A and B are shown apart, each in its own frame.
Chain A
Amino acid sequence: MRNSFTFRLILLLSMSSALIIAAAMTIDYRLARDEILDRLREESLVTVRNSISDLENMLDGVESSAHFMANFLGRQDLTEEQLENLLRDIVETNVDVFGAAIALNPELTSDEAGFAPYYHKAGGLIQRKNLADGPENYWSQHWYTQPIAAGKPVWVEPYFDELGAEVLMTTYSIPVYREDTNGAPELFGVVTADVTLEELKAYISRLRLGDNGYAFLVSGEGAILASKADSSAMRNYRDLIYTSPEASSWERAISGSDQLEDKPQLVQCPHIDDKCAIRTSRLRTTDWPFGVVYSEDELLAPLREFTAKSTILSTIILIIMVLSGTLIVRRLTSPLTKLAIAVDAIGGGELRAPLPRAKGHDEVARLIRSFASMQTDLRSYISSLEEVTAARSRLEGELTAAREIQMAMLPQGGEAIEKAEAFNLWAKVRPAKTVGGDLYSYYRDEQRLYLIVGDVSDKGVPAALFMARAMSLLQQQRANLIQPEAGMSLLNDALEQDNENCMFVTLFLGVLDLQSYALTFASAGHTPPSLLRNGVANTIEQDAGPALALASGLQFSANTLQLQAGDRLAIYTDGIDEAFNIDAEMFGMERFNQRLAAGVDEAVEDAGIGIIDSVDSFAAGTAQSDDITLMLLDIPEAKAAVSSSTDQLSRSFKLDAQLNASSGEWLEHALEQTGVAPDIIMEMTLVLEELVTNVRKYAGLPEDAELTVQVATTGNSLILTIVDGGVAFNPLEDAHRSPLGADIESAEIGGLGVHLVTQLTDEQVYRREGDQNLLRVVKLLQHD
């Protein structure tokens, strides 16, 4: 799964989605955060300004009311009743004015106690008090004295109104002057308008910034007019802030700025855990410090909320993208997975495994269609292959049966071994295909042995059928084959009839007289036989006629060959000498004769199989090109007139200075023992000397190396064999031979030995066997 295409695709899509979303969100957050931050700060600033403005408006209203009354009083003489009404109206109509008083200069009043009516709100009603009735003179009160002292309107420090409404308040007092008779200003009285601390606090508390934020108002002398806690009212703010470790910050904030600054100061403050922000200003009307304290964090809560929402949103989008990506990828790749399973099944031999349905025309669909078509083709191919295989095995079965039938036509079923007193015979047919056109046959008729080897043109079934025809004709004509050349003509005419296909057959037909070993044979274009005699094999020259079955009325010649004891006659078809190796070289008659000679000491059947094995190993790597037939006929020694046994002696000699003498002596002694005539002994000794001298000279061997001399005598021949392990050297061809009979002046000296060897013996054969030189000479012995 981890390595699957689906998994990798989903992983890649998810990762890239996550990166893109994270990047987008980060950029968006950066931009939005700054904007939100600015907006929040702006909002807080506006809130504070509005609050200040409200408060200022209220105080302005109070001041206006007081000034209104002062103007009246300064310009017009009013009755007491009119003054009372004025006061009542002011208090009644002006919601922010808690109370108002007109206190006349006691020096100008008729009454000694003065005249100071005071109206104030109390429980929704307007109540009147006469301040002149109080226990203390009103003109000694600071709300009366302060403005007079200042000569201008003042906001009196907050105080508890013991004379009037008995509440905490602050008062705006205006001194009213009139001109006396001399034109000099004379105090006429003081007009006041009161604002309760309750009222101020109500205004202040309307300003809220965050859960823990609060505003405060401080009087000109530092008394707290309104703040978070009621308990702190009327106390000097310095008494409170000097318990704080950041008193200086507070002091600076409260007493410092006259203007509201854009950015808040950050200080440590109680009630608020983290840094709290403080903004301060002064009221324009009263010059009282005013401030707000709030938690910047609380103020920025919307920003955090925004951040959290963004994060959640991003996560949700990512999850949705991953899920939809997974779905899409799975939807796209599921046919591929199913296809892989189906193709595995097809590969396992289940040719009808269902493939997934191909929808649309995309690459996957095309792939599925291709596989479907491949599946169909494969099914039809395999089914036709099965039919062909069945047909072939049926045909092979028939051919095998045909082969058995064909082989049954041949004596002993294709490989024959016949050992009689007068001859040993071995023959074998091996077709190139299951059936073939080669044939052999033999049969005895009293003192005659008939030998037949044939080769039908072409190979395979047509050749086999024609071969069957030839075999049955041979059977029919048995009695007429005593003279091979005449028998051959008969067979030719019979085979030529109805031979529309122009098949032909080459045939060796021989008749051996088992008394005289005289062989008469006729050849219809057949490969000449070879004769192995005294260890030397030669191809027999023959007078061959044309192949059989092509024209009628052909004549053939009789060839004769006198066989003798120890002879081996080989009759074969061109499948042997025309066998090709992978280098396109032919086996050839010469190689056949060499191989025939090499098997001189082997029994006839071993020699025959050996020759066929040689052909096979020669042609290894190529298909057998033609049918192979080989027939070997041995004339046993037992029938020879003399010396029935073969005496063989062998001895090794060192290649030292004694070589010639010791080998010569040994040979002489050996031949004397077997009763060979003295002149032959001398000649053979001479031959041996020439041969061992050659070995010593040309084999390139050290003196302690050895050569082996073998001597064998059969009834009528003497075979001398020299074997040495030296460099390849064939004295028959490689040794220097000087021309004979030359005039002595031009004659060469030396180069005579090989002449002696070839002249004194009847056969000479050289062979390189492995890393040894083998030279064999045969001397025929004359018997009386």
Chain B
Amino acid sequence: MDLTTTVSVDQENSVARVGLKGALNTDTAPEFEERLQKIVAEGHQLTVLDMKELDYISSAGLRVIFKAAKQTKSAGRRLAAANRKPHIDKVFEILKALPDMAVFANDEELDEYLDSMQSKVKGD
């Protein structure tokens, strides 16, 4: 199984949205890591990994996300996951991975969050 990633950036709110489709496993992790590193390096305040169409993740894939989370956190920015399927969720659960990572169950929750963040910015 392959992995397809789509990236859309909301420059105004400094949010990068990375859509994952397929499997994030040993074979696909290296390429994804390269891609994600670039996005993280762009310095968006928030990077959202949209896993709506991600069917499979292995420890190799988690390692890439783990690395990105660590980098964004140390830079004072955030990495979030959205739309995790139950079995993907289970893997995250097992590994007690990213306990303080923002997780959005679906697009609505994400939109809400983005709106609130936007208004916060505007309010500031």
Listed in ascending order, the chain A residues whose CB lies under 8 Å from chain B are 657, 660-661, 664, 679, 682-683, 685-686, 689-690, 693, 740-741, 743-745, 747, 749-750, 752-753, 755-756, 759-760
A690 to B67, CA, bound (A): 18
A747, B70: Cβ atoms closer than 8 Å:
yes
A744, B27: Cβ atoms closer than 8 Å:
no
A682-B56, A693-B26, A756-B58 known; A749 and B91 CB under 8 Å? Answer: no
Q: Find B94's partner among A689, A747, A750, A760 (CB 8 Å cutoff).
A: A760
B62 interfacial by beta-carbon distance below 8 Å? yes
Which residues of chain B have C-beta atoms less than 8 A from A743's C-beta? Answer: 99-100
Interface 0/1 of B55-74, CB less than 8 Å to A: 11111101100110110011
Identify whether the interface residues of A are mostly helix, strand, loop, or mixed: helix
A683 to B98, CA, bound (A): 20
- B63 (CB) vs chain A CBs: closest residue: A750
Interface 0/1 of B21-60, CB less than 8 Å to A: 0000111000000000000000000000000000111111
A686 to B70, CA, bound (A): 24
A486 to B3, CA, bound (A): 65
Which residues of chain A have C-beta atoms less than 8 A from B25's C-beta? Answer: 660, 664, 689
Which residues of chain A have C-beta atoms less than 8 A from B56's C-beta? Answer: 682, 685-686
Which residues of chain B have C-beta atoms less than 8 A from A759's C-beta? Answer: 94
A682 to B1, CA, bound (A): 12
Which residues of chain B have C-beta atoms less than 8 A from A689's C-beta? Answer: 25-26, 58, 60
Shortest beta-carbon distance from A473 to chain B in Å: 54
Which residues of chain A have C-beta atoms less than 8 A from B69's C-beta? Answer: 744
- A756 (CB) vs chain B CBs: closest residue: B59
A741, B58: Cβ atoms closer than 8 Å:
no
Q: Find A744's partner among B58, B90, B98 (CB 8 Å cutoff).
A: B98
A660 to B30, CA, bound (A): 14
A744, B70: Cβ atoms closer than 8 Å:
yes
Besides A744-B73, A750-B66, 11 new A-B residue pairs in contact (Cβ under 8 A), listed by A number: A657-B27, A661-B1, A682-B55, A683-B90, A689-B60, A749-B70, A750-B63, A752-B63, A752-B66, A753-B59, A756-B91
A679 to B94, CA, bound (A): 15
Within B74-96, the residues touching A (CB, 8 Å) are 74, 86-87, 90-91, 94-96
A752 to B98, CA, bound (A): 13
Q: How many A-B residue pairs have CB under 8 A?
A: 75
Shortest beta-carbon distance from A31 to chain B in Å: 121
Which residues of chain B have C-beta atoms less than 8 A from A657's C-beta? Answer: 27
Shortest beta-carbon distance from A662 to chain B in Å: 10
B27, A660: Cβ atoms closer than 8 Å:
yes
Which residues of chain B have C-beta atoms less than 8 A from A690's C-beta? Answer: 58-59
B26, A749: Cβ atoms closer than 8 Å:
no
A515 to B78, CA, bound (A): 59
Interchain Cβ contacts under 8 Å between A and B, 24 examples:
A661-B27, A664-B1, A679-B86, A682-B55, A686-B91, A689-B25, A689-B26, A689-B58, A693-B58, A741-B99, A744-B66, A744-B100, A747-B66, A747-B70, A749-B66, A749-B70, A750-B63, A752-B62, A753-B60, A755-B95, A756-B58, A756-B95, A759-B94, A760-B94
A755, B27: Cβ atoms closer than 8 Å:
no
A693, B100: Cβ atoms closer than 8 Å:
no
Which residue, B25, B27, B58, B91, has most C-beta atoms of chain A within 10 A? Answer: B58
B27, A745: Cβ atoms closer than 8 Å:
no
Q: Find B87's partner among A661, A683, A744, A753 (CB 8 Å cutoff).
A: A683
Shortest beta-carbon distance from B73 to chain A in Å: 5
A745, B58: Cβ atoms closer than 8 Å:
no
A682 to B73, CA, bound (A): 31
Which residues of chain B have C-beta atoms less than 8 A from A741's C-beta? Answer: 96, 99
A377 to B66, CA, bound (A): 91
A657 to B100, CA, bound (A): 35
- B64 (CB) vs chain A CBs: closest residue: A749
Q: Find B95's partner among A685, A740, A749 (CB 8 Å cutoff).
A: A740
Shortest beta-carbon distance from B89 to chain A in Å: 12
Which residues of chain A have C-beta atoms less than 8 A from B74's C-beta? Answer: 745
Which residues of chain B have C-beta atoms less than 8 A from A679's C-beta? Answer: 86-87
Which residues of chain B have C-beta atoms less than 8 A from A756's C-beta? Answer: 58-59, 91, 94-95
A741 to B94, CA, bound (A): 10
A756 to B59, CA, bound (A): 8
Within B93-120, the residues touching A (CB, 8 Å) are 94-101
- A760 (CB) vs chain B CBs: closest residue: B94
- B86 (CB) vs chain A CBs: closest residue: A679
A744-B69, A744-B70 known; A752 and B27 CB under 8 Å? Answer: no
Shortest beta-carbon distance from B15 to chain A in Å: 20
Which residues of chain B have C-beta atoms less than 8 A from A740's C-beta? Answer: 95-97
Which residues of chain A have C-beta atoms less than 8 A from B96's C-beta? Answer: 740-741
- A746 (CB) vs chain B CBs: closest residue: B70
Which residues of chain B have C-beta atoms less than 8 A from A753's C-beta? Answer: 58-60
Which residues of chain A have C-beta atoms less than 8 A from B27's C-beta? Answer: 657, 660-661
Which residues of chain A have C-beta atoms less than 8 A from B57's C-beta? Answer: 686
Which residues of chain A have C-beta atoms less than 8 A from B63's C-beta? Answer: 749-750, 752
Shortest beta-carbon distance from A135 to chain B in Å: 183
A752 to B99, CA, bound (A): 15
A690 to B27, CA, bound (A): 12
A741 to B66, CA, bound (A): 12
Which residues of chain B have C-beta atoms less than 8 A from A760's C-beta? Answer: 94
A686 to B63, CA, bound (A): 14
Shortest beta-carbon distance from A359 to chain B in Å: 102
Shortest beta-carbon distance from B52 to chain A in Å: 17
- A687 (CB) vs chain B CBs: closest residue: B58
A661 to B3, CA, bound (A): 12
Shortest beta-carbon distance from B101 to chain A in Å: 8
Shortest beta-carbon distance from B86 to chain A in Å: 8
A743 to B96, CA, bound (A): 10
Which residues of chain A have C-beta atoms less than 8 A from B101's C-beta? Answer: 744
Shortest beta-carbon distance from B79 to chain A in Å: 9
Q: Find A752's partner among B1, B70, B95 (CB 8 Å cutoff).
A: B95
Which residues of chain A have C-beta atoms less than 8 A from B60's C-beta? Answer: 689, 693, 753
A741 to B97, CA, bound (A): 6
A745, B70: Cβ atoms closer than 8 Å:
yes
Which residues of chain B have C-beta atoms less than 8 A from A749's C-beta? Answer: 63, 66-67, 70
- B74 (CB) vs chain A CBs: closest residue: A745
Shortest beta-carbon distance from A13 to chain B in Å: 101
Which residue, B1, B26, B86, B96, has most C-beta atoms of chain A within 10 A? Answer: B26
Shortest beta-carbon distance from B104 to chain A in Å: 18
A747 to B27, CA, bound (A): 24
Which residues of chain B have C-beta atoms less than 8 A from A660's C-beta? Answer: 25-27
B87, A682: Cβ atoms closer than 8 Å:
yes
Which residues of chain B have C-beta atoms less than 8 A from A683's C-beta? Answer: 87, 90
Which residues of chain B have C-beta atoms less than 8 A from A745's C-beta? Answer: 70, 73-74
Shortest beta-carbon distance from B29 to chain A in Å: 10
- B68 (CB) vs chain A CBs: closest residue: A749
A302 to B3, CA, bound (A): 142
Shortest beta-carbon distance from B53 to chain A in Å: 15
A693 to B73, CA, bound (A): 29
Which residues of chain A have C-beta atoms less than 8 A from B58's C-beta? Answer: 686, 689-690, 693, 753, 756
B94, A755: Cβ atoms closer than 8 Å:
yes
- A658 (CB) vs chain B CBs: closest residue: B27
A689 to B66, CA, bound (A): 19
Which residue, A741, A745, A752, A753, has most C-beta atoms of chain B within 10 A? Answer: A752
Shortest beta-carbon distance from A571 to chain B in Å: 37
- A759 (CB) vs chain B CBs: closest residue: B94
Which residues of chain B have C-beta atoms less than 8 A from A752's C-beta? Answer: 59, 62-63, 66, 95, 97
Which residues of chain A have C-beta atoms less than 8 A from B73's C-beta? Answer: 744-745
- B62 (CB) vs chain A CBs: closest residue: A752
Which residues of chain A have C-beta atoms less than 8 A from B67's C-beta? Answer: 749
Which residues of chain B have C-beta atoms less than 8 A from A661's C-beta? Answer: 1, 27
